[in-house]
């Protein structure tokens, strides 16, 4: 077999090793998890489920923040300096992992959920507010169980360059699964939420301090090199 790689810029080719996967930076702090939910209703089951997830994560030792989507304008309708937009983006940058939880509406995620994701840019200056962060997805259903919402959010997570964990939660007939105080009743659906948060916590511990290396791409390194050489030639 011919081992030559004639189409590869060898100076930008990285050969992965276990040593390169050693975590960098301070890892002593608690894992930082941002949770988003997709409803503005007073009795919102996606909010109730999000708070249950936050309690579980806090029990594991995570530092959790829950973003309130109320008063977040529609994406593109106000400048990026709007206080709710800057709050959301700052929280995304702060986070090492995220939880997205949306009701299913007309077979898809809600506008409230999508609006939050739309406000998180792929790039913000030299930073990428979502890349390399872990993600867990959950949905609540008004009727029978479906997976339309979690599937859609998986697609969005991939587009945002996030590491979406394998497990997920879908709660059917959510109005039966929460008490009057908004706490989730014991059930196999609650057990699944614990499973998902446990898995998210583990994946976040595994990836933090390594995400920059894991998401470093040959094609982008090569493009930067080509751009730098082109700029140098132009100056000459």
Supply the pTM of this predicted model: 0.89
- For the ranges 16-30, 46-60, 171-185, the lowest mean pLDDT is seen at 16-30
For residue range 97-135, list pLDDT tens digits in order: 999 999 999 999 999 999 999 999 888 776 787 889 999
DSSP state for residue 92 in the 8-state scheme: H
Distance CA 47, CA 42 (A): 9
pLDDT score of 233: 76
For residue range 26-56, list pLDDT tens digits in order: 888 999 999 999 999 999 999 999 999 999 9
pLDDT score of 214: 81
DSSP state for residue 37 in the 8-state scheme: E
What is the DSSP secondary-structure string of 108-152?
Answer: B--HHHHHHHHHS-S-BTTB-SSTT-EEEEEEE-SSS---HHHHH
pLDDT score of 1: 53
In the predicted structure, residue 20 carries a pLDDT above the cut 80: yes
In the predicted structure, residue 189 carries a pLDDT above the cut 80: yes
pLDDT score of 5: 66
pLDDT score of 126: 66
For residue range 193-223, list pLDDT tens digits in order: 999 999 999 999 999 988 888 888 888 888 8
Distance CA 12, CA 220 (A): 9
Contact 162, 133 (CB under 8 A): yes
Distance CA 114, CA 105 (A): 12
Distance CA 153, CA 143 (A): 19
End-to-end CA, the chain:
42
For residue range 53-108, list pLDDT tens digits in order: 999 999 999 999 999 999 999 999 999 999 999 999 999 999 999 999 999 999 99
Residue with tokens 């301070």: 26
H runs (alpha helix) in the chain: 45-60, 83-94, 111-119, 148-159, 188-207, 211-214, 218-235
pLDDT score of 15: 81
Q: What are the residues whose beta carbons fall under 8 Å from the beta carbon of 63, sequence distance 6 or more?
A: 29, 30, 31, 32, 33
Question: Which of 45, 96, 37, 102 lies closest to 70 in space, CA to CA?
Answer: 37
Residue-range domains of the chain with CATH: 28-235 (3.40.50.360)
pLDDT score of 70: 96
Tokens of 222: 């090569």
Distance set, CA 65 to CA 57, 87, 90 (Å) = 11, 11, 11
Residues 180-188: contacts with CB under 8 Å, at least 24 apart: 182/43, 182/47, 182/48, 182/51, 183/48, 183/52, 184/48, 184/49, 184/52
């Amino acid at each position: 077999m011919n081992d030559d790689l004639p189409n590869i810029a060898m100076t930008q080719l990285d050969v992965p090793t276990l040593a390169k996967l050693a975590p960098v930076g301070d890892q002593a702090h608690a894992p930082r998890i941002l949770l988003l939910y997709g409803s503005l209703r007073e009795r919102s089951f996606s909010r109730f489920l999000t708070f249950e997830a936050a309690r579980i994560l806090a029990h594991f030792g995570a530092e959790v923040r829950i973003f309130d989507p109320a008063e977040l304008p529609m994406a593109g309708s106000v400048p990026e300096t709007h206080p709710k937009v800057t709050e959301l983006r700052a929280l995304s940058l702060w986070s090492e992992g995220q939880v997205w939880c949306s009701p299913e509406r007309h077979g898809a995620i809600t506008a409230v959920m999508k609006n939050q994701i739309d406000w998180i840019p792929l790039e913000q200056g030299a930073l990428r507010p979502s890349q390399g962060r872990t993600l867990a997805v959950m949905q609540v259903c008004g009727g029978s169980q479906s997976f339309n919402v979690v599937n859609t959010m998986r697609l969005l997570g991939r587009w945002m360059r996030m590491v979406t964990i394998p497990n997920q939660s879908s709660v059917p007939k959510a109005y039966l699964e929460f008490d009057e105080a908004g706490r989730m009743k014991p059930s196999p659906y609650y057990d699944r939420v614990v499973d998902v948060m446990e898995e998210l916590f583990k994946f976040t511990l595994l990836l933090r301090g390594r995400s920059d290396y894991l998401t470093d791409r040959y094609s982008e390194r090569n493009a930067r090199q080509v751009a730098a050489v082109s700029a140098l030639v132009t100056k000459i």
